[in-house]
Structure 1
Amino acid sequence: TVVTGPLTGGRHFCVLHGGIPVDCPGQDGPVSLEDDIARIDRVRTTMQCHRDRMDHILFNLVWADPCDSVQKKTVGQVGRGNRFVERETVDFCEKNNIA
């Protein structure tokens, strides 16, 4: 959910179930709310198989997990989605003007 309005001083406020989508095929830098997330066709039969970049982005919006360090991103993954670190969160927020 993305909220823009008087409560946020006109800035975007974003709430995700999982986390930010990182390391998806064809991804170069943080995903964009307008160019990527807003364009996802949300009518999907399943999110278990990743057919395209948008499947990966949508899946990770639900299942991505935070991680302490870049070194731990690929070691012993416990969740289903990709892991993301603090720097990737900051980059995502800056790109999308999120408070």
Structure 2
Amino acid sequence: MTRMVNCVKLKREAEGLAAPPYPGQMGVRIWQSISKEAWEMWIQTQTRLVNENRLNLADARARKYLAQQMETFLFEDGDVEAQGYVPPPQ
């Protein structure tokens, strides 16, 4: 059976994640209120942030930055995008 959540990012009911995708309280918060679709959107954005900003994920500052960007993207409806990123033409 599909688990449904009221996704705060998409502002509608959608299929939820099977398990918390992130450690700790933030992971539980994401699992409870972020859909699978919105999480995939974040993963794509996170990949661009890491690549375009050349982040080293072994660096605690880079991980903290990504965590802040994730919270802004998922819960605050903030505009999060890599500096200088230009989407490919449709």
TM-score range, shorter chain: under 0.3
Larger helix share, 1 or 2:
2
**Length-normalised TM-score, structure 2:** 0.27
**Length-normalised TM-score, structure 1:** 0.25
